[in-house]
């Protein structure tokens, strides 16, 4: 997939000349984009998607459905039209399904494929091939799925044909929207009602989008943290039109950049502000950022708003562990914010970060230290003491968010920051360098 990649193997980021200025819209939300391709493919009728993220991760999901007989026109400028084949309309793929770098694609697809009456095999790149898959294959197996991973529980995932699945009542052992979604997707094919209980709120795009495609699912709040979702198998999805808002996880790089580069005044438009995703805003506010949400509105089933961020300088804080699942993808850039803040920032309750595209605790600690920051590594987080950053060389470990985070760090470092393995940026944010330079950053690709 790297042939379409506009970025070279490394990024070099140097001090921003002055503050970041301008009005930008970052690309479409990755989670919503994946799900819009999945649900549209399984729906009855033709769905039109606008604002789709054309990153490699979402393209892997789309390629998988095309390999299973789904016809799609696009994407072009974020527009994609998908002719749904219905819940039972997929056909056996002739080749392995390559999910590239995408954990979301692999885990959610596993939920769908585990219920099919044909066999399939899910494979991934070097980073994805090291990520834990038992978290999805265990509950799916208890529904009657027949799957096998390698001996470490990692990809490839071999999936055998089944006639049908059984419903389960599943308590998620960790706060993971991917696992919740894999079980809910399989549950659409189960003979009865499945329930999934999550120990803490995680992104709820699957639940919202199921409803948008006309599939009932009941959400019961058991306490402020615990939620149970119930879904009855045997229903159908009906085609709809989806307008994908901008990804707050991509916007986060610019929220932090504008908060650490003196003189910045930046506006980010049309950002998804689903409350299961806005932990970054709460954390930055707790660090003293001047970040204002304006023009709140609803687009499709999702809340959307614009943001205005002005530089005022950040101070360290103890990040509330309850905010971790609500900002799970934003921790690499939050670590950069912490390293530039005045005082100490503590991150805890974040062990899940070790199971992302890289071990984001270890890799951020290594990278921040390479730039001269004072960091203590803990099993479930880290303690960062803010101060001036120097230049240095960073390994991204095939992790897009690590590469982009250190590119932002380069805006305040005293010497250039060179990042290798930056080609993975295209998995979630293909025009990152262009947008960054447009608002005044200084990045060479
Ligand atoms: C995602 C869920 C999160 C997140 C990932 C996208 C999703 O993973 O890190 O980038 O779309 O469901 P977990 O749910 O495993 O934490």
Condensed to tens digits (0 to 9), the pLDDT of residues 327-351 reads 999 999 999 999 999 999 999 999 9
Per-residue pLDDT at 184: 99
Give the model's confidence band at 153: pLDDT under 50 very low, under 70 low, under 90 confident, else very high.
very high
Contact predicate 224/205, CB 8 Å: no
Nearest to 156 by CA among 71, 217, 95: 95
> Which atom of ligand 1 lies nearest, measured to the CA of 325?
16
pLDDT score of 4 more than 90 = no
- Tell me which residue has its CA closest to atom 4 in ligand 1: 329
Cα(185) to centroid(ligand 1), Å: 15
- How far, in Å, CA of 296 to CA of 273, rounded? 9
Distance of alpha carbon 338 from the chain centroid: 21
pLDDT at 15: 83
Determine the average pLDDT of the residues in 432-440: 97
Which of 191, 136, 135 has the alpha carbon at shortest distance from 168? 191
pLDDT at 13: 84
Condensed to tens digits (0 to 9), the pLDDT of residues 372-400 reads: 999 999 999 999 999 999 999 999 998 99
Specify the pLDDT at position 148: 98
Residue closest via CA to ligand 1's atom 11 equals 31
Of 96, 329, 359, 380, which is the active-site residue?
Answer: 329
Q: Please tell me the predicted confidence (pLDDT) of residue 9.
A: 76
Rounded Cα–Cα distance for residues 55 and 418 (Å)? 23
Q: What is the DSSP string of 375-386?
A: EEEETTEEEEE-
Q: How far is the CA of 14 from the centre of ligand 1 (A)?
A: 31
pLDDT of res. 8? 58
Q: Return the ligand 1 atom nearest residue 31 CA.
A: 11
Percent of the chain with pLDDT over 90: 94
Annotated active-site residue 329? The verdict is yes
Nearest to 339 by CA among 378, 377, 387, 381: 387
Residue 177 CA to ligand 1 centre (angstroms): 5
Write the pLDDT tens digit of every residue in 78-93. 999 999 999 999 999 9
Q: What's the pLDDT score for residue 300?
A: 82
Q: Which of 55, 103, 355 to mutate to test the pocket of ligand 1 (most atoms within 8 A of CB)?
A: 103
Residue pLDDT, tens place only, 11-70: 998 887 789 999 999 999 999 999 999 999 999 999 999 999 999 999 999 999 999 999
Strands (DSSP E) along 227-380, which ranges? 227-232, 241-243, 265-272, 290-299, 302-310, 344-347, 374-378
Q: Does the beta carbon of 204 sit less than 6 angstroms from any atom of ligand 1?
A: no
Q: pLDDT confidence of 369, banded at 50, 70, 90? A: very high
Check whether 7 has a pLDDT greater than 70. no
Instruction: List domains and CATH numbers for the chain.
Output: 13-29+245-444 (3.65.10.10), 30-243 (3.65.10.10)
Ligand 1 atom at minimal distance to the Cα of residue 352: 16
pLDDT at 269 over 80: yes
Q: Is the pLDDT of residue 158 over 80?
A: yes
Is 6 a residue whose pLDDT tops 70? Answer: no
* Interval 103-113 mean pLDDT: 98
Instruction: Look at residue 14 in the predicted model and tell me its pLDDT.
Output: 86
Q: Residue 18's pLDDT is what?
A: 83
| pLDDT, tens only, 270-319 | 999 999 999 999 999 999 999 999 999 998 889 999 999 999 999 999 99
pLDDT at residue 5, rounded to an integer: 41
């Amino acid at each position: 997939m790297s042939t379409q990649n506009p970025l070279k193997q490394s990024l070099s980021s140097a001090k921003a000349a002055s503050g970041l200025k301008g009005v930008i819209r970052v690309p479409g939300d990755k989670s919503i984009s994946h799900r819009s391709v999945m649900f549209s493919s399984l729906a009855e009728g033709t769905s039109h998607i606008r604002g789709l993220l054309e990153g490699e991760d979402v393209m892997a999901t789309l390629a998988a459905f095309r390999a299973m007989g789904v016809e799609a026109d696009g994407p072009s400028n974020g527009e994609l039209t998908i002719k749904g084949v219905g819940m039972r309309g997929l056909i056996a793929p002739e080749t392995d399904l390559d999910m590239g770098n995408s954990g979301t694609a692999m885990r959610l697809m596993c939920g769908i494929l585990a219920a099919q009456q044909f066999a399939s095999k899910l494979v991934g790149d070097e980073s994805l091939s090291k990520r834990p898959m038992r978290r999805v294959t265990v509950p799916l197996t208890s529904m009657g799925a027949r799957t096998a991973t390698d001996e470490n529980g990692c990809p490839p995932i071999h999936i055998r044909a089944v006639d049908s699945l059984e419903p389960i009542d599943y308590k998620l052992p960790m706060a993971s929207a991917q696992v919740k979604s894999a079980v809910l997707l399989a549950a659409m094919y189960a003979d009865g009602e499945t329930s999934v209980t999550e120990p803490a709120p995680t992104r709820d795009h699957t639940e919202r989008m199921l409803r948008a495609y006309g599939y009932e699912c009941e959400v019961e709040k058991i306490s402020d943290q615990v939620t149970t979702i119930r879904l009855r198998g045997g229903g159908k999805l009906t085609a709809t039109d989806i307008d994908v808002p901008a990804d707050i996880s991509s916007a986060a790089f610019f929220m932090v950049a504008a908060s650490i580069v003196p003189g910045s005044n930046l506006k980010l438009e049309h950002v998804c502000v689903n409350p299961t995703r806005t932990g970054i805003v709460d954390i930055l506010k707790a660090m003293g950022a001047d970040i204002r949400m304006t023009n709140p509105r609803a687009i499709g089933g999702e809340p959307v708003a614009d943001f205005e961020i002005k530089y005022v300088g950040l101070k360290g804080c103890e990040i509330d562990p309850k905010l971790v699942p609500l900002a799970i993808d934003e921790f690499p850039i939050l670590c950069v914010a912490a390293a530039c803040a005045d005082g100490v920032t503590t991150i805890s309750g974040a062990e899940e970060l070790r199971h992302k595209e890289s071990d984001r605790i270890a890799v951020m600690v290594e990278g921040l230290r390479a730039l001269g920051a004072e960091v203590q590594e803990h099993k479930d987080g880290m303690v960062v003491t803010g101060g001036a950053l120097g230049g240095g060389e960073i390994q991204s470990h095939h992790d897009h968010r690590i590469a982009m985070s250190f590119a932002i760090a380069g805006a305040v470092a005293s010497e250039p920051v060179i990042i290798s393995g930056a080609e993975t940026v295209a998995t979630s944010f293909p025009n990152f360098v262009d947008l960054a330079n447009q608002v005044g950053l200084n990045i060479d690709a």
